[in-house]
Structure 1
Amino acid sequence: MKEFLVPTVPGILRYNDFPGEGVPILFIHGLGCAGSFDYPQVLAQSELKHAHCVAVDIFGSGYSDQPENFGYSVEEHASSLQQLVSHLHWDTYTVFGHSLGGAIALSLANLDRKKVSSIILSEANLDASPEGSTSKFIADQSQESFLAKGFLQLIEESRSTGNTMWAATLSHWSPKATYLIAKSAAEGVTPSWREILYTLPCKKTFIFGERTLPTPEYQELSSQGIEIQVVRDAGHSMAWENPQGLAQAIAKAL
């Protein structure tokens, strides 16, 4: 694992750098997850093992710092990752984002339009979080209530319903970071992440888990000229459910 001190925060981002060839790929995980947890098995697959990939833990998650003075909004995460990319001296790169990490990826691509050659999204947040989503459930609580009891209750509920992988990664998050990024997701941005996606000049791919289908989003995104890939035998947590299938979808997108 490597680390980079983001000077504007300040705080240290930690990431795994898998050496390889071609245009590098930055992997951005979703809410309650971690790049160090989600992607090693995906990147070990034959389809990606020769690619240059970086899997980062965003601030407040995994092994990265949990700076108190960081705002943890989608846009602030994107800014910190743009500084990481600059530190890595990448002239061009692909950005991959899963779930809420997709919103961060879109914000980053919007900041780095001249450098991002393609964007790959797996069931990414494109609009403000709707009713029924985890981020909306978190954001509907007060910050005080969530920090006092909501965070631990969410972990315990995930364990009790069999979502033990997510409970494991979420337990390593800062409760404050969890709440603030969920609040950012629920509030959305203007222009929306969807509008950003539609106007990006780079190659664009959206990945669905087979168990998520059918969804109107499939036709909507196809109508916008966005390439669609489907991971068989997987739902939203495709990196855990079918890492080889996700690796194949990413390789096809490249």
Structure 2
Amino acid sequence: MRRRSILVDLLGSGYGDRPECFRYRIEDHARIVVELIQSLETKVDFFGHSMGGAVAVVAATMAPRRARHLVLAEPNLDVGGGLLRREIAAYPESDYLLYGHAQMVATASKEGDPIWAGALAISCPRGIDCAATSLAIHWRGANCCSGYTCRAL
């Protein structure tokens, strides 16, 4: 079976666009993904890593007839996301934007994680903060993934 892969760089992440009018919540990212897959007029296999896992779950829930498979790798699915996401979400928004983002970049760099430090440094602080604080997806028991087989890889 031939497949086409489309990699989505979430708005506000990395070198992606940073529109001022975008809210950067997980649901907002998922809506953009759903708009894309609706234009493809075919079923899709979702793959989501880290925050993209949360986006993939929400997108698959928004467009269940388009989702053939849902594959998640190190997803942030529990309330508050991963450790770094919880640290980001712990800041009040104004503090994160004023100094928290720079502190997170410096901490990642100092702790020997130059890839994360670099990715965070070029990302939109408001986008990172909004995504981190909206990661509280209550997916367990919410029936949002009914129809999917869950397997640990």
So what's the TM-score if we normalise by structure 1? 0.56
Aligned counterpart in structure 1 of residue 130 of structure 2, from 180, 202, 210: 180
Instruction: Pick the structure with greater CA Rg.
Output: 1
> Is the counterpart of residue 134 in structure 1 residue 77 in structure 2?
no
For 1:147, the aligned partner's letter is: L
Gaps of 5+ in 1: 1-19, 23-51, 205-225, 230-254
Residue type of the alignment partner of 1:135: R
Structure 2 counterparts to residues 47-86 of structure 1, below 5 A: 52-86=4-38
Note closer, same or farther for the CA distance 1:195–1:124 as it changes in structure 2 (3 Å cut): farther
Picking from 130, 136, 158, the partner of 2:108 is 158
For the residues of structure 2 that align with 1:113 and 1:161, how far apart are their CA atoms? 41
- Deviation of 1:124 (Å): 1.2
Conservation of the 8 A alpha-carbon contact between 1:146 and 1:179: yes
Q: How far off its partner does 1:142 sit?
A: 1.2
Residue correspondence of structure 1 range 103-252 to structure 2 within 5 A: 103-129=54-80, 133-185=83-135, 188-189=136-137, 192-195=138-141, 199-202=145-148, 204=149, 226-229=150-153
In structure 2, relative to structure 1, the CA distance for the partners of 1:79 and 1:110 (3 Å cut) is same
Q: Deviations over 1:79-135 (max 9, x none)?
A: 011112223x141010011122111110000011001011000121222116x7111
TM-aligned CA deviation for residue 149 of structure 1: 0.9
Letter in 2 for 1:54: I
The offset of 1:197, in angstroms, is 6.6
Q: Distance in 2 between matches of 1:100 and 1:65?
A: 17
Q: 1:80 to 1:133 in 2, by over 3 A?
A: same
Q: Distance in 2 between matches of 1:105 and 1:196?
A: 16
Cα distance 1:143–1:199, how it changes in 2: closer, same or farther (>3 A)? Answer: closer
State the Cα distance separating 1:196 from its structure 2 match: 5.1
Q: One-letter code of the match for 2:78?
A: D
- Code of the residue aligned with 2:139 in structure 1: it is W
> Kindly tell me: are residues 83 and 149 of structure 1, through their superposed partners in 2, closer, same or farther at Cα, counting changes over 3 Å?
same
**Greater relative contact order (Cα < 8 A, sep 6+):** 2
Instruction: Read off the aligned partner of 1:21 and give its amino acid letter.
Output: R
Q: Does 1:92 align with 2:43?
A: yes
| Cα 1:198/1:78, change in 2 over 3 Å | closer
Aligned residues: 153
- The question of whether the paired residues in 2 share the 8 Å contact of 1:106 and 1:197 is answered with no
Task: Structure 2: state its 5+ residue gaps.
Answer: none
Contact 1:106 1:196 in 2 (8 A): no
Identical counterparts, % of pairs: 29
The one-letter code sitting in structure 2 at the alignment partner of 1:201 is G
Distance 1:196 1:54, change over 3 A: farther
Is contact 1:155-1:171 (8 Å) kept? yes
